[in-house]
Structure 1
Amino acid sequence: GFGGADLAINTIDSRQSYEQVLVGMLVSSASESDSGKRVRHIAYGVVELEDAALSGRKGTWIGYTADELMAEAKQKALGLIKNRFEFEEVKRERIAEYTGMSAIRFEFLKQSFEKKIVFSWERALNFEGDSGPYCQYTYSRARRILEKSGEDDGELDQSKITSDIEFELVKSMALSQYAVERTGREFKVNIFIEHINSLCTIFSRFYEQKHVLSAEGAERAARLKLVRSFVLLMEQLFHACGI
């Protein structure tokens, strides 16, 4: 059954958990194979706003369709970007669209599925940490370093990686593959998102503690190599989660 799939995953509201158990039992009883063991229910908590619950029957979801949510996210992001950065209007609009989208996706994906999700614009659009925009901003900082360097950083001289924060950054980047594998093994996307956030937090500390462009010689080259590795890794991680 299942069209040849090894595993059938139903992502349904946690309030339907009992019904999903019955589905598994019915599949098992109707088949002589192990089909029942190949049905997996991933339950998720209901989504609420800070000041209201969303209900299909009561119609409180009206005004909160995906398109309307994206439009509001863009407008809110645009307001924040205008206050923080100086961009041309066309570029500002484009950045606001991507920022709003990442804010929503990150805020939902970072949640533990079993828990009720209380959506907050303040948290979702927080440029100071634990949000899609924060991670994007950290990535853009790293990209800016590479653009300013104007050179290929060459081979890495590992002997120049000596500080605790540099070792911590290398270790965190190295753990990315483990985070991906654990996410797939446990069916918990928040593990992946937590790793991205942690990695960006560590890079921000590296950015604050270590001069890159003003360093000299092999030390500068080593730090540029760390920054380049971070940028390339973040591009892959962002692509994987649609941020």
Structure 2
Amino acid sequence: MSIAQLQETLSEAIKNAVTELYDAHLESVEFQTTRKEFEGDTTVVVFPMLRVVKGNPVQIGEAIGTYLVEHVDEVERFNVVKGFLNLVLSDAYFLSFFKNVANFSNFGKVPQTNDAVLVEYSSPNTNKPLHLGHVRNILLGYSVAEIVKASGKKTYKTQIINDRGIHICKSMLAWKRFGNEETPASSGLKGDKLVGNYYVKFDQEYKKQVAQLQSEGKTEDEAKAEAPLLTEAQEMLRKWEAGDTETVALWSKMNGWVYDGFAKTYEAIGVDFDSYYYESETYLLGKDNIEEGLKNGVFYKKDDGSVWCDLTDEGLDEKLVLRSDGTAVYMTQDIGTAIQRSKDLPDVGAMIYTVGNEQDYHFKVLFLILKKLGYSWAKNLHHLSYGMVDLPSGKMKSREGTVVDADDLIEEMAQTAREISEELGKIDDFNETEKEELFRTIGLGALKYYILKIDPKKRILFNPEESVDFQGNTGPFIQYTYARIQSILRKAEEQSGARTIADLSLEGFTLHEKEKEVLKLLQQFPDVIQLAAEQYSPAVIANYTYDLVKEFNSFYQNVSILAADSEAEKQFRIQLAKAVAAVLKTAFGLLGINVPERM
């Protein structure tokens, strides 16, 4: 019996109790988790019942508790604390749950329905490599897609690549002026890193020109606007938009370098995509939708010819959707891209945009306009808004070259994992290849867990060394517990061969308090997945996983597994440890984290 089924059984019994004892009708029953300081496995809140049952809440709780013990097999005893009825469930209830889960490796995941969700994440610019800010975006988007899939919905992972605009032309111009035909092959650099270097180079040379013009008597604003490099980059953008053959060829070549670099970084991080959209192909989308909206009164035209959407009735402002010269703004193409995606993937009923919280207002406006345009799926659009990632050294700036490159970060995490692991001295029997794989698994796990355990809306101060701690609420601590369980299971197999839950005989079995606590947490996992999917929050999974590990370690320290008092106890505890390991692996998989078999 699942938690939901149990609550349904208890609700029905409590309603019957209220009818029989008080001749009253109770509409619903409120449950909550029993507080740690009280005995109990689930708690019924009595206070809401006072609307239909008059009397002392403690006495009402006592009467209902007595009724439940008499009428519900799963309820063994109870206690009442003020208006809270704490129910202690029978060992048989928890053992029945455990015995009936044939395979904990699949536990918690729901078969996919036809409801499909599109998750957009990453969405980088092609003028620089991916950096720490992108890493949070990528990890969040990928994990949310995996969680939503586990909750029972089909998912599509996508991104829109910002491959056009003045920032792209800055890198192109700097390479053309200062690159001497340098390529990723000739330089030995990843393509995205090479192009990013020229974006920084542009800024350096541009600042020199601005300083020179100021020394000649120009104001700062005049100097910034008239610097030859900037005017040349603006001209390059005009040529690109006009389809100039030479400019488009250079753009294609340098973007190709960047895409190759991005692909290597995505592979290193361990994420994937089902489709790609390119701003160079979508930036003209939406103009037809604006024309349609004008006819339907969703938009209005000002005297200068610009087109706007009045959102003041919804507490927002007036939003420009088409300039007076007929050119689109970002909002226009976002409207068009959303509509295009709904045509490309007709089974998609919801879209999730993983974008930093500086775009909160933009997405409020976008979603509202799409609703006004009459798209039924617009009510299921969600902005997965997240806070920035800071470093102890301060804020990152791409154009000044002060960002933390994603590739460098991955290498740094692996190196930090190496240093800490070698200090602990637990890997002497690993060969060099196994060590390298382990360090990367630990380093990436530390990075991902550190970022994903925090609520997406909160800002993060990322400390690499703190994240690779083998104690506390960290990825390596959980990975180490998983590896410890695998070690126990290997020893168990050596002693008595491979067994399964089906082999257990649990008739009349009495649970140790620590076993029961582990079972209670295991039972919660399906609900945790659903809650994480509803909230689009990997933090729900991460913090559940930490709680499960803490509970397992408490169990491990208080009872013996392989030297249990009886064979039945030993085999049960082995299977319990195996179930915990399976759930840890599944939970970490939803976060995009691998678990090592040995550490």
| Shorter-chain TM-score tier | over 0.9
User: 40, 54, 73: which one pairs with 2:413?
Assistant: 73
Q: Which amino acid aligns with 2:423?
A: N
Amino acid at match of 2:514: I
Superposed CA deviations along residues 11-49 of structure 1, whole A, max 9, x for unmatched, are 1110110111111122123x2233431221111000001
Once residues 507 and 469 of structure 2 are traced to their aligned partners in structure 1, the CA distance between those partners, rounded to angstroms, is: 35
Taking the aligned partners of 2:377 and 2:418, their CA distance within structure 1 comes to: 49
Deviations 1:142-176 (A, max 9, x none): 11101011223431526445222110101111111
Offset from partner CA, 1:90-123 (integer Å, 9 cap, x none): 3222110100011111111111111111111233
Rate the CA distance shift 1:146–1:156 in 2: closer, same or farther, 3 A.
farther
Report percent identity of matched pairs: 24
> Are residues 1:226 and 2:593 paired?
no
Q: Is the 8 A contact 1:129 1:201 kept in 2?
A: no
Structure 1: runs of 5 or more not aligned: none
SS of the residue corresponding to residue 59 of structure 1 reads coil
Q: Per-residue displacement from partner, 1:57-110 (whole Å, max 9, x unpaired)?
A: 54321xx22111100000000111111213323322211010001111111111
Which residue identity is paired with 1:240? L
Q: Secondary structure at the match of 1:41?
A: strand
182, 199, 203: which one aligns with 2:552: 203
1:233 Cα shift?
1.9
CA separation of 1:161 and 1:129: change in aligned 2, threshold 3 A: farther
The corresponding residue for 2:448 is 105
Superposition pairs for residues 121-132 of structure 1, below 5 Å? 121-132=464-475
Q: Which has the higher helix share?
A: 1
Q: Is the 8 A contact 1:156 1:225 kept in 2?
A: no
Q: CA separation in 1, counterparts of 2:552 and 2:365?
A: 47
1:7 to 350, 353, 364: 350
Q: What residue in structure 2 maps to residue 137 of structure 1? A: 480
- Mark the CA change 1:43 to 1:213 in structure 2 (over 3 Å): closer, same or farther: same
For 1:175, what is the secondary structure of its paired residue?
helix
1:8 and 1:58 map into 2 onto residues whose CA distance is: 34
Q: Classify 1:152/1:120 alpha carbon distance in 2 versus 1 (closer, same or farther; 3 Å).
A: same
Q: 1:152 aligns with which of 481, 484, 498?
A: 498
2:427 alignment partner in structure 1: 86
One-letter identity of the residue aligned with 2:543: E
* Corresponding residue of 2:330: none
Q: Root-mean-square deviation (CA), in Å?
A: 1.6
Return the offset for 1:132: 0.9
In the alignment, the residues of structure 1 paired with residue 525 and residue 516 of structure 2 have an alpha-carbon distance, to the nearest angstrom, of 15
Matched with 2:384 is 42
How many correspondences in the alignment? 240
Check 1:160–1:102 CA distance in 2 against 1; reply closer, same or farther (3 A cut). same
Please say if 1:237 is aligned against 2:583.
Answer: no
Alignment of 1:150-189 (within 5 A): 150=493, 151-153=497-499, 154-157=503-506, 159-189=508-538
- Partners of 2:468 and 2:476 within 8 A in 1: yes
Q: Find the aligned partners of 1:124 and 1:232 in 2 and give their Cα distance.
A: 24
Tell me the distance in 2 between the aligned counterparts of 1:130 and 1:172. 17
Query: What is the TM-score when the length of structure 2 is the normalising length?
Result: 0.39
Distance in 2 between the 1:78 and 1:169 partners?
32
Scaled by the length of structure 1, the TM-score of the pair is 0.93
Whole-angstrom CA distance in 1 between matches of 2:550 and 2:395: 32
The answer (yes or no) to whether the contact 2:450–2:467 under 8 Å persists in 1 is yes
CA–CA distance in structure 2, aligned partners of residues 189 and 170 of structure 1? 22
CA distance in 1, matches of 2:437, 2:356: 34
CA distance in 2, matches of 1:68, 1:158: 56
Greater gyration radius = 2
Structure with the greater relative contact order (CA < 8 A, sep ≥ 6): 1 or 2?
1
- 1:49–1:156 CA distance, 2 compared to 1 (3 A): farther
